[in-house]
Amino acid sequence: MTSYPTAEYRRTALVPAVLAAIVLVAGSALLGTDGFVWILYPTSILALVISVFAWQAKQWWWLLVLIPLAIAWNPVLPFGFDGVVWQAAQFIAALLFVAMGVLIRVRNPDDRNRR
């Protein structure tokens, strides 16, 4: 047993959200090329993974953001987006992913500080 306090909450979506943000920012360099499909796969998959974490955290309102992100970056039937608007969407989605990673949290069942 340790005397160190444990965190009150777990941020289960933080790691996939930061990873998705890194993929989106790095993928902006591949925008308009055939290699951009390699950005669509992890972005869509990580959006769906984070949606599971949001559902488990009972913060379903994040699904209103995550499901359109998963559809817009869908690699199976990709949209033909290109240009400045799509590049701006890459950065806005990266910021949204980071915000979700920080704000989606679940109460820690191992919290020894609870009274």
Average pLDDT, the chain: 88
The pTM assigned to this predicted structure is 0.85
Q: Does residue 2 surpass a pLDDT of 70?
A: no
pLDDT band for position 77 (cuts 50, 70, 90): confident
Q: To which residue do tokens 């033909």 refer?
A: 80
Give the model's pLDDT for residue 56: 92
Cα–Cα distance for residue pair 115/89, rounded to 1 Å: 45
Q: To which residue do tokens 């992913």 refer?
A: 97
Average pLDDT on 43-52 reads 96
Cα–Cα distance for residue pair 14/20, rounded to 1 Å: 10
Cα–Cα distance for residue pair 7/2, rounded to 1 Å: 13
**CA nearest to 97, candidates 1, 38, 22:** 22
Asked whether 100 and 6 are in contact (CB, 8 A), the reply is: no
Average pLDDT on 17-27 reads 96
